């Protein structure tokens, strides 16, 4: 059991998932070393807004440095004594943007991941959890995406390729290590404090502000939208799982973008002004996760359906409208 020592490192602590995870760990009495460099992959004001909610917590030690620079780890090395787990949530996310600046994705998703794996191994930390993505699978069609079919993985984007590279390199580095390596592959996470490049938060913003809702393609793309609270529950369960493994973390119900927009209309009370544009990159038509592995080994299943999740996200957005209106949506 990892709970003997309640000191954990979370990278990307001002990012969407990292912020929620850090908040949950602090609520459970963990001491957290949070790392983030507050880069401008998307509006840094949103990252600062998240960080403002946790930065004064007495059990949070915040470090601002670049994980892709191995020479920046000196201060972290000094603080690593008695750390029992590393959650590497830091990443440069976003499929569309990855085609514009591929070199930044290699640096942040492959080099930084390799560095954090090296750090974890050299300090003999017992658990490393590295955030990965369903994007590596490509298109599932009628089949379920399964973790044990890696030979069929064909990442369709720069983003997906760099995340898969991070997975492979971390596995290689941990082969002769006692560290348990866990690789959660997240499926389209959404919810309060979400990223401004993700469809649900962008759609909510555009509908409430009565702006055009940009939909790439016909909107019939099927996605496994997964509410943030369910994702955090899965990550916390990994604290007490003492093996190396890969887990799909997603919803067992897929819905289309058009269905999402209709649900947003329902909870905002406003009609979306939809503008369809041609897809500019290879975007999967259908994404369906196989959740048997995580259900069997962690006894986890998602509990928030898309209606409830969107209702909560709309309510949160309205409560934080003054801040969220000033965020740049991309």
State the pairing for strand pair 245-249/180-186.
parallel
Cβ neighbours around 269 below 10 Å, total:
9
Q: Residue 21: enclosing H or E segment and its boundaries?
A: helix 16-27
Distance (Å, whole) CA 285 – CA 287:
7
CB count in 10 Å sphere of residue 308: 11
User: Which residue is it, tokens 């794996």?
Assistant: 117
Pairwise CA distance, residues 99 & 143, whole Å: 27
Task: Give yes or no: 159 in active site.
Answer: yes
- Rg (the chain; Cα; Å): 19
For 267, list phi and psi in degrees, rounded to 5: -95, -10
| Of 30, 73, 105, 159, catalytic | 159
Q: Which positions are annotated as active-site residues?
A: 159
């Amino acid at each position: 059991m990892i709970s003997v020592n309640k000191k954990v490192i979370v990278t990307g602590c001002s990012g969407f998932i990292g912020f929620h995870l850090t908040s949950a760990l602090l609520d459970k009495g963990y001491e957290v070393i949070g790392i983030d460099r507050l880069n401008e992959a998307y509006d840094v004001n949103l990252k600062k807004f998240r960080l403002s909610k946790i930065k004064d917590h007495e059990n949070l030690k915040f470090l601002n440095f670049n994980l892709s620079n191995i020479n920046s780890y000196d201060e972290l090395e000094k603080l690593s004594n008695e750390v029992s787990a590393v959650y590497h949530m830091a990443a440069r996310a976003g499929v569309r943007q990855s085609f514009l600046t591929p070199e930044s994705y290699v640096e942040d998703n492959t080099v930084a991941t390799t560095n954090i794996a090296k750090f974890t191994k050299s300090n003999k930390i017992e658990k490393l959890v590295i955030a990965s993505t369903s994007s590596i699978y490509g298109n599932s069609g009628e089949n379920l995406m399964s973790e044990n079919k890696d030979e069929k993985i064909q990442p369709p984007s720069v983003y997906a390729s760099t995340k898969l590279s991070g997975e492979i390199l971390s596995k290689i580095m941990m082969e002769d290590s006692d560290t348990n390596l866990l690789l959660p592959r997240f499926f389209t996470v959404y919810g309060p404090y979400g990223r401004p490049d993700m469809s649900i938060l962008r759609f909510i913003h555009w509908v409430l502000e009565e702006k055009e809702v940009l939909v790439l393609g016909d909107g019939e793309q099927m996605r496994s939208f997964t509410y943030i609270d369910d994702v955090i529950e899965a990550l916390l369960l990994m604290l007490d799982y003492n093996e190396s493994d890969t887990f799909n973390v997603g919803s067992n119900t897929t819905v289309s973008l058009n269905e999402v927009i209709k649900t947003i209309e329902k909870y905002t009370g406003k009609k979306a002004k939809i503008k369809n544009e041609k897809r500019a990159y290879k975007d999967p038509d259908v994404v369906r996760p196989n959740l048997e592995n995580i259900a069997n080994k962690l006894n986890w299943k998602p509990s928030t359906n898309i209606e409830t999740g969107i209702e909560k996200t709309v309510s949160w957005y309205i409560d934080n409208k003054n801040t969220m209106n000033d965020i740049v949506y991309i």
